[in-house]
Amino acid sequence: MTNTTNPTIELENQYGAKNYAPMPVVLTKGQGVYVWDDAGNRYLDMMSAYSAVSHGHCHPTLVKVLQQQAERLTIVSRSFYTDQLGPFLKKACELTGFERALPMNTGAEAVETALKAARKWAYTVKGVPHDQAEIIACKGNFHGRTITIIGLSTEPQYQAGFGPFPPGLKTIPYGEPAELEKAITKNTAAFLVEPLKGEGGIILPPDGYLKECAAICKKHNVLLICDEIQTGLGRTGKLLAFQHEDMKPDAIVLGKALGGGLIPVSLFLTSKEVMDVFTPGDHGSTFGGNPLAASVASAALDVLIEEKLIEKAASMGDYFLKSLKNIHSPIIKEVRGKGLLIGVEVKEGYSARDICLKLLVHGILCKETHRTVMRFAPPLMVTKEQIDTAVNALKQVFEEMEKQPAALK
């Protein structure tokens, strides 16, 4: 394991912003579910870059597509048509069941796009008075870090020092449809929600939550937008996490895994009625929809289906969850998740980050969220043997900690 005297770490600390607190390891190479550090040590990646590497590191098919397209045409801006974007958008729409798609780069950009579309739809279609549109999201959400999006956050650190925030933003408790109905007014444009919370601590809503929310939104002519940036594209054992319920939202946002772990790609997908509120000049992106990104994302969708990664996420997710629940340790408070998006919450007084640091010594990469939850989200082709390796390492760490009461924080 790399230590903090590593010159590469020192360079980043000296010249970089202090907006991250990375684990003390310098990664230099990746392949499949594994990464290697600058000392040649191999680690099992249980993070997948927050689901961005769902296809595994440096997937050979995707790398080949990237190389071939990079030799032909990379960026020309949306001022011109290219031979890659149209086929990619068609594939994405047909696969997800939406009529229109608007490409961007990052997940936060896709969320901003969704919010802009919802507001303009509210004014031009629903008839909300000018500048009165409201957006509702859930407490404990994570939709990104732009000024508008953190205006919907209830995490104090995300907002501290960054106000003022745009008006018309509301938050309600997660998993409580009655609270949604109470919050809706005649000016409500959209309800933005995660099918299950990722950064918020791997929190699952009650069964039927999304279906009930969809009915409420339809009743009040409010757009239901599902943030599938982390949960979509197979992560939870379905193509899209909302498909675990008998419902369909009005729109979704995709990102992370859409770029195949190689390049930032995101999409806002919705109906013709909503997307057609945009006219030339209303919205755009220099890099969004570029041919390099479109070619890689199109191939990433193909690989997802052809290699049955969604089905693997479902079966391996069940196996991983059962294996973690079979760890009998007084340190564990709860194990929860869906597919290969799993959280292990430790009891008050224990530090999830400290446990992640101990796992690093055992060759397992994972990351805490909300101080008490360890997130396990490996690439979707992870095997039972690799899962066993991670579970056994966690067992060993817990056993070591149980023998040392001073490990309590």
Q: What is the DSSP track for 185-210?
A: -TTEEEEEE-SSBSTTTSBPPPTTHH
What is the three-class DSSP state of 180? helix
Distances (CA, A) of 221 to 27, 133, 239, 248, 320: 49, 13, 27, 15, 40
Tell me: the pLDDT tens digits for 323-363? 999 999 999 999 999 999 999 999 999 999 999 999 999 99
Residue 227 annotated as catalytic: yes
Q: What percent of the chain has pLDDT over 70?
A: 98
Strands 266-270 and 332-338, sheet pairing: unpaired
Q: How far apart are CA 63 and CA 70, in angstroms?
A: 10
Residue 28 has pLDDT above 70, yes or no: yes
CB 136 within 8 A of CB 152: no
The CA-atom distances, in angstroms, between 240 and each of 159, 212, 270, 294 are: 30, 18, 14, 20
Binning pLDDT at 50, 70 and 90, where does residue 2 land? very low
Q: Which of 102-106, 154-158, 265-269 has the lowest mean pLDDT?
A: 154-158
Which pLDDT value is given to residue 274?
98
When pLDDT is averaged across residues 265-271 and rounded to a whole number, the result is 98
DSSP code per residue over 271-313: -HHHHTT--TTSS--SSTT-HHHHHHHHHHHHHHHHTTHHHHH
- CA distances for 390 relative to 37, 279, 313, 329, angstroms: 18, 50, 16, 16
Half-sphere exposure of 203 (CA within 13 A, CB side): 19
* Nearest C-alpha neighbor of 323 from the set 337, 308, 304, 302: 337
Indicate which residue of 91, 120, 197, 256 is catalytic: 256
CB 117 within 8 A of CB 192: no
The reported pLDDT for the residue numbered 269 is 99
Non-local (6+) Cβ contacts of 400 within 8 A are 358
- Long-range CB contact pairs, 25-33, < 8 A, 24+: 25/1, 25/360, 25/365, 26/2, 30/57, 30/58, 31/56, 31/57, 31/58, 32/56, 32/57, 32/379, 32/381, 33/57, 33/378, 33/379, 33/381, 33/382, 33/386
The answer to whether 268 and 251 have CB atoms below 8 angstroms apart is yes
Active site residue 256: yes
Higher pLDDT, 172 or 21: 172
| Alpha-carbon span 84 to 268, nearest angstrom | 18
In eight-state DSSP terms, residue 18 is: S
pLDDT at 313: 98
Q: What percent of the chain has pLDDT over 90?
A: 95
Work out whether strand 188-193 and strand 223-227 pair parallel, antiparallel, or are unpaired. parallel
- Do residues 374 and 368 touch, judged by C-beta distance below 8 A? yes
Tokens of 253: 């946002």
Region 279-287 average pLDDT: 96
Catalytic residue of the set 142, 268, 278, 398:
142
Q: Which of 278, 178, 275, 282 is nearest to 225 (CA)?
A: 275
Q: State the amino acid at position 216 in one-letter form.
A: I
Reading the block at residue 127, the tokens are: 């008839």
DSSP 8-state class, residue 405: G
- Per the prediction, the chain carries an average pLDDT of 96
At residue 256's C-alpha, the angle toward residues 252 and 259, to 5°, is 105
Give the pLDDT confidence score for residue 374 in this predicted structure. 96
The CATH code belonging to domain 60-306 is 3.40.640.10
Of 37, 98, 197, 227, which residue is the catalytic one?
227
pLDDT score of 4 more than 60: no
Instruction: Over range 11-33, report the average pLDDT.
Output: 95
Evaluate if residue 1 carries a pLDDT over 70.
no
Q: pLDDT-based confidence at 370, cuts 50/70/90?
A: confident
Q: How confident is the model at residue 405 (pLDDT cuts 50, 70, 90)?
A: low
142 part of the active site: yes
Domain boundaries, the chain: 60-306
Residue 342, SS3? strand
User: How many degrees, rounded to 5, is the angle at CA 151 between CA 149 and CA 156?
Assistant: 110
Secondary structure letter of residue 256 according to DSSP: G
| Helix 60-70 and helix 291-306, axial crossing angle in degrees, nearest 10 | 160
| Average pLDDT estimate for 52-65 | 98
The pLDDT confidence band at residue 409, using thresholds 50, 70 and 90, is: very low
pLDDT band at 16 (very low <50, low <70, confident <90, very high): very high
For residues 373 and 199, give the distance between their C-alpha atoms in angstroms, rounded to a whole number.
Answer: 10
